[in-house]
Structure 1
């Protein structure tokens, strides 16, 4: 499926362990008002991840770009992670892969809200020593897992408000 659930997925076949996941939620329609809003949510979610990747990869970046796309727990946790990485003398190398889709959208709520489910694949995203660039991943590291993000519409557009890793759900 594409990010809105309307095309076949092109990822590799799941392993036996990955087939025990609970069924994915249906995606929001790809057309009409909900489709347009869902595309906006996914654009913000993708931009938020790009800002995080940039901040986590560079010890001189403040992470301020993350605040353009998030608020609340999503913003505070992201900035705390930037700080923790820097304090440990670490950066992130590579990129995570995302297969996000909007699974819920309430345009009648005040503020409007959305839920994004994402299969986050971090096999190519590694913790590394900031000075030597040597990879220093934790020994017990998950490589693919589901995350659920919530977003709300504000006068600044859609902002990511929360990100919940669901490490018990493989994808």
Structure 2
């Protein structure tokens, strides 16, 4: 007996469904379907936010930049004998600013200029970000071996500070008007480092 047309259609339909299922299953196992989850993970990780910078590290860098900036301007003033073009007030305020001005006036009044540059190695030893204003302490071993006052006319070296040219300097800083400023700076003439 010959198979009926409806039985043939049913077998063909079942075969088509089985074939479609097999194709779908094979497609799912291929490189496109299996990697969908794997590729989602790295892109999710790549788009996650980068960690915020450490506020203490950022503040420390800014304090040291202010301290070094103060010294850069101080060196220019002492070597030129003038405040013209100085940016000292961008880095120093209060007692620190006054001390630089008094020293510069002393050098000017005595016909001295300071040639060369000091060697600095500052470290922030105390940082208070929870206070108002925020404060910091910088301790430095200032080596002024090549930063010596000399007569502006003759170039003769001055012995103002004696033989020891390496001293501990302690500076105070505070955060105000959107930036760190050095507000006091004291060299311990009796110390060596």
- Normalising by structure 1, we get a TM-score of 0.77
Contact 1:52 1:63 in 2 (8 A): no
Look up the match of 1:65. 87
Q: CA RMSD in A?
A: 1.6
Q: Which structure ranks higher in relative contact order (CA pairs < 8 Å, sequence separation ≥ 6)?
A: 1
Look up the match of 1:121. 143
Contact 2:136 2:172 in 1 (8 A): yes
Look up the match of 2:99. 77
SS at match of 1:168: coil
**Structure 1 stretch 99-108 or stretch 138-147: which is displaced more?**
138-147
Look up the match of 1:155. 177
Moved over 3 A (4+): 60-64
Deviations 1:28-80 (A, max 9, x none): xxx71101100000011000000000000012434742222111110011011
Contact 2:111 2:151 in 1 (8 A): yes
SS at match of 2:171: strand
- Normalising by structure 2, we get a TM-score of 0.69
Q: Give unmatched runs, 5+ long, in structure 2.
A: 1-52
State the Cα distance separating 1:133 from its structure 2 match.
Answer: 2.0
Contact 1:51 1:63 in 2 (8 A): no
Q: Give unmatched runs, 5+ long, in structure 1.
A: 1-30
Number of aligned residues: 141
Contact 2:164 2:192 in 1 (8 A): no
Look up the match of 1:4. none
State the Cα distance separating 1:170 from its structure 2 match.
Answer: 1.8
The structure where helix makes up a greater share of residues is: 2
